[in-house]
Amino acid sequence: MGSQQLQTIERGVGYLVWLAKHGPCTVQELADGVGAPVSTAYRYVAALRDAGLLWDLPEGRLGLGPRCVQLELGFRRALDEWAQCQPVMRELAAATGETVALLVPLDHEAVCVDIVESRQPLRYALSRGMTKPMLRGAPGKAMVPYLAPDVLEALMLGPEALSPSERAHLLDELPRIRACGYAVSREEVDRGVWAVGVPVLDHDGNLEGALSLLAPLARTGGRESFLVHATMEAAAKIPTIPRRGMPGMR
């Protein structure tokens, strides 16, 4: 495949990813979002619409098309290969009464790929496909110590850019996270939320994702040690995830 074809594919994927993150929009908004001329955006939109990956919505907006449902179904089938993940997550959610999520790193974000929600009326709301920061909050920070230095540097200078004091604090925190095997956060991303994240590693110690437990802060007082221990025990039971994360992991 030639470099021109590769660039075309990458740009088309970029349009879909932007829409997946930001929701329905006009062609102009899509072009602005991906940084392309609107004339170029119209060409890509036409091709993606023909492929069933985009479709037209009222008021001149675009949304992801029905072909994306098939892609999601294919992903769910791939997720089924992690046969032990759901039982482990359900067991942890039942034992703690809290929401449990499995996240993987992708494009400098932590993406939720599976979840078991708490059955309590007051619970943390998360859904598959939602993203969390890598540098703030326990789910992302649990994975950061396993990133290569150049990837970590790019993260710190990217959309999540940290202030000098935040950067210094994170760099001080990373050795402890790796040594302890978990990260804990209090209201770092969402107000009133406590979370613990535990990295999921393959047999060679390479990062595959993170298992996270998220709960209302008001319900965690005096239970933190129990919740951390329970999440670490559950993460140890998660099977090797049949994928690799973003480049630069170690």
pLDDT tens for 71-129 read 777 776 666 655 568 899 999 999 999 999 999 888 778 888 889 999 888 777 777 77
In this structure, are residues 167 and 205 in contact, taking their beta carbons and an 8 Å threshold?
no
- Between CA 57 and CA 73 the distance in angstroms is 23
pLDDT value at 26 more than 50: yes
Domain chopping of the chain, boundaries? 3-69, 81-237
Question: Tens digits of per-residue pLDDT, 121-152?
Answer: 877 777 777 888 899 899 999 999 998 888 88
Which of the pair, 103 or 243, is modelled with greater confidence? 103
pLDDT tier, 242 (very low <50, low <70, confident <90, very high otherwise): low
**Domain 3-69, architecture per CATH:** Orthogonal Bundle (1.10)
Give the model's pLDDT for residue 12.
87
Superfamily of domain 81-237: GAF domain (3.30.450.40)
Per-residue model confidence (pLDDT) at position 81: 59
pTM beyond cutoff 0.85? no
Predicted pLDDT at 166: 83
| Confidence (pLDDT) at 37 | 93
Q: What is the pLDDT of residue 124?
A: 76
| pLDDT (mean) for 28-38 | 92
pLDDT exceeds 80 at position 1: no
What are 195-209's pLDDT values in tens digits? 999 999 988 888 889
Tell me: pLDDT of 4 over 80.
no
